[in-house]
Amino acid sequence: MSKQKVLILGGGYGGIVTAQRLQKKLHYNEAEITLVNKHDYHYITTELHQPAAGTMHHDRARVDINDLLNTKRVNFVQDTVVSINTEEKKVQLENGEQEYDHLVISLGSEPETFGIEGLKENAFSIRSINSVRYIREHIEYMFAKYKNEPEREDYLRFVVGGAGFTGIEFVGELADRLPKLCKEFDVDPERVKIINIEAAPTALPGFDPELVEYAMDVLRKKGVEFKIDTPIKECTPEGVVLADGEEIKAGTIVWTGGVRGNSIVENAGIETMRGRVKVDEYLRAPGFEDIFVVGDCALIINEEINRPYPPTAQMAIQMAMNLSLNLVAVVRGQPKLLRQFQPEIKGTVASLGKGEAIGIVGKKKIFGPIASLMKKIIDLRYLFIIGGIPLVLRKGRF
Ligand code: FAD
Ligand code: NAD
């Protein structure tokens, strides 16, 4: 009998953890496991705000995929997924095609622009190693340009659209980085502005108000200006236009206004909400016994509040661990062993730049250096999960 084909699309949190667990659980003669990823490295998305601001080198936030997988057990294909044909059970890649018996979609998210005019064309977003290299270079270029056109103070204005967790973590890093660039380029720090614009009546909507206040206080002291309750309605090559008509000219606009699932999924004819698939209790796409979805492409409702769980790395990892058990069950033809997915949210910790953070761990609120330490521990724990002590020592920041 020919081996069953398990095809994993995307080597982020969901894809890598699924592949690693499967390579341990399935015997080599039970299934052929293939992972397709755009790059030959796995990037640690939760750290990307740092290389984006230039406070950390991007190499620290990526790991070679071949170092993470047993390549005798998992075929790694470096390619870009173009489309999924669910009827023929085939996936079209830029440079080839893959067939599957069981498909895992873990392609992550895309920026949600809500149709705001000019955002796609004129704003940066923090989503990959290449995108953050671009942001860091652009920030430095703005300083260099300003030195040659000192009347253009807009070159030194940095607008961040959205004060969710990504926006808040990024402005924290930016506020640490810009004073260093001021020294390097002989620029008066008074000329530099970081403006974080948020549509909702508060930054970090839905998060604990006391911690939100703490975060805004820390960031204001570092020089961040907030514009709250002020939606961005347009983005132009010169800056942003707000709903109240105000125009802010800025040389750098970074959009952190939210995410949606990867568009490849909705184009495959799978039912989605903002690109995310409302999976069943076993993480299957509705109507497809052979398609599983994990990470940012999956949507799971928190019944307690009747709202979706936010797409996080924490969820992606837990889903991947559960999915690997379910894949073993389906490959072995043991449907009774399928396990329902039950998220276990351990908390949320967000960095505010060097030595500062906020968070809720269990039911406890934490902030300041303790929260910052906790954030580091969470980052190290992930390195340990995917690469053990050697990876912690090689990539960890202590
Ligand atoms: P990803 O990790 O994004 O992986 C998707 C993979 O698919 C990537 O390797 C990508 O290259 C690949 N891919 C995409 N398209 C294609 C294609 N067409 N062909 C081939 N490959 C493709 N969550 C937390 O829980 N805690 C945090 O502290 C936290 N911090 C964050 C900080 C930042 C700056 C950001 C942006 C997000 C943060 N998140 C955090 C959210 C978290 O990063 C995501 O929820 C998580 O990465 C989702 O995992 P995933 O596997 O679904 O997608
Ligand atoms: P988000 O959806 O959490 O936040 C986006 C923010 O942008 C919201 O506050 C929203 O009100 C605002 N916004 C939307 N439209 C706007 C407009 N027109 N003008 C101004 N503001 C606008 O998105 P995110 O911050 O990118 O986070 C994505 C996911 O990643 C979330 O699930 C988040 O929890 C997770 N994440 C977690 C961490 C952490 O745990 N440390 C860090 C980063 C991201």
- What ligand has the least distance to the C-alpha of 173? 1
Q: Which residues line ligand 1 (CB under 6 A)?
A: 10-15, 36-39, 45-46, 48-49, 80-81, 106-108, 126, 128, 166, 169, 262, 264, 295-296, 311-314, 316
Nearest 5°: phi and psi at 259? -130, 160
Whether 169 is catalytic is: yes
CA distance 23 to 70: 7
- What ligand has the least distance to the C-alpha of 293? 1
Question: How many domains does the chain fold into?
Answer: 2
Identity of the residue numbered 161? G
Atom 53 of ligand 1, residue of closest alpha carbon? 108
Q: Which of 45, 60, 315 to mutate to test the pocket of ligand 1 (most atoms within 8 A of CB)?
A: 45
Shared domain check, 220 and 323:
no
CA distance 375 to 349: 6
Atom 3 of ligand 2, residue of closest alpha carbon? 164
Vertex 173: Cα angle to 196 and 247 (nearest 5): 20
Structure tokens of 385? 């999960």
Locate the ligand 1 atom nearest the alpha carbon of residue 378 and give its number: 28
Among 326, 345, 364, which residue terminates a domain?
345
Helix, strand, coil in percent for the chain, rounding step 5:
40, 25, 35
- What is the rounded end-to-end Cα distance, in angstroms, of the chain? 50
Structure tokens of 109? 């998210």
Shared domain check, 89 and 142:
no
Long-range contact list for 375-378, CB < 8 A, 24+ apart? 375/349, 375/350, 375/351, 378/349
Query: How far away, in angstroms, is 140 Cα from ligand 1 center?
Result: 26
Among 328, 345, 362, which residue terminates a domain?
345
Shared domain check, 339 and 376:
no
Atom 12 of ligand 2, residue of closest alpha carbon? 162
Looking at residue 2, what is its pLDDT? 75
What pairs with residue 81 in β-bridges? 93
Which of 169, 173, 198, 356 does the annotation list as catalytic?
169
Residue 73 maps to a domain: no
**According to DSSP H, which parts of the chain are helical?**
13-25, 49-53, 65-68, 119-122, 129-148, 165-184, 209-221, 263-267, 313-331, 369-395
Residue 242 maps to a domain: yes
CA distance 94 to 97: 8
Shared domain check, 120 and 15:
no
Q: Is 385 exposed, middle or buried (0-12, 13-18, 19+ CB in 10 A)?
A: middle
Looking at residue 28, what is its pLDDT? 87
Shared domain check, 374 and 327:
no
Among 330, 345, 360, which residue terminates a domain?
345
Shared domain check, 209 and 128:
yes
Q: Which of 105, 129, 309, 312 to mutate to test the pocket of ligand 1 (most atoms within 8 A of CB)?
A: 312
Atom 36 of ligand 2, residue of closest alpha carbon? 165
Shared domain check, 243 and 136:
yes
Residue 46 maps to a domain: no
Shared domain check, 356 and 217:
yes
Residue 293 maps to a domain: yes
Identity of the residue numbered 122? N
Residue 63 maps to a domain: no
Residue with tokens 């398990």: 6
Query: Domain of 191: which CATH number?
Result: 3.50.50.100
Shared domain check, 94 and 31:
yes
Residue 54 maps to a domain: no
Nearest 5°: phi and psi at 217? -60, -50
Residue partners of 122: CB distance under 8 A and separation at least 6? 235, 236, 237, 253
Would you call 209 helix, strand, or coil by DSSP? helix
Would you call 262 helix, strand, or coil by DSSP? coil
Shared domain check, 231 and 353:
yes
Atom 4 of ligand 2, residue of closest alpha carbon? 164
Structure tokens of 137? 């270079």
Query: How far away, in angstroms, is 361 Cα from ligand 2 center?
Result: 20
Local confidence pLDDT in tens for the 398 residues of the chain: 678 999 999 999 999 999 999 999 999 899 999 999 999 999 999 999 999 999 999 999 999 999 999 999 999 999 999 999 999 999 999 999 999 999 999 999 999 999 999 999 999 999 999 999 999 999 999 999 999 999 999 999 999 999 999 999 999 999 999 999 999 999 999 999 999 999 999 999 999 999 999 999 999 999 999 999 999 999 999 999 999 999 999 999 999 999 999 999 999 999 999 999 999 999 999 999 999 999 999 999 999 999 999 999 999 999 999 999 999 999 999 999 999 999 999 999 999 999 999 999 999 999 999 999 999 999 999 999 999 999 999 988 77
Full domain range(s) for residue 380: 113-257+346-398
Shared domain check, 368 and 386:
yes
CA distance 284 to 296: 14
Shared domain check, 148 and 103:
no
Residue 72 maps to a domain: no
- What ligand has the least distance to the C-alpha of 256? 2
- What ligand has the least distance to the C-alpha of 164? 2
Would you call 40 helix, strand, or coil by DSSP? coil
Q: Are 226 and 163 in contact (CB under 8 A)?
A: yes
Looking at residue 397, what is its pLDDT? 79
Residue 272 maps to a domain: yes
Q: Sort residue 136 into left (φ over 0), alpha (ψ -120 to 50) or beta.
A: alpha
Looking at residue 1, what is its pLDDT? 60
Query: How far away, in angstroms, is 198 Cα from ligand 2 center?
Result: 10
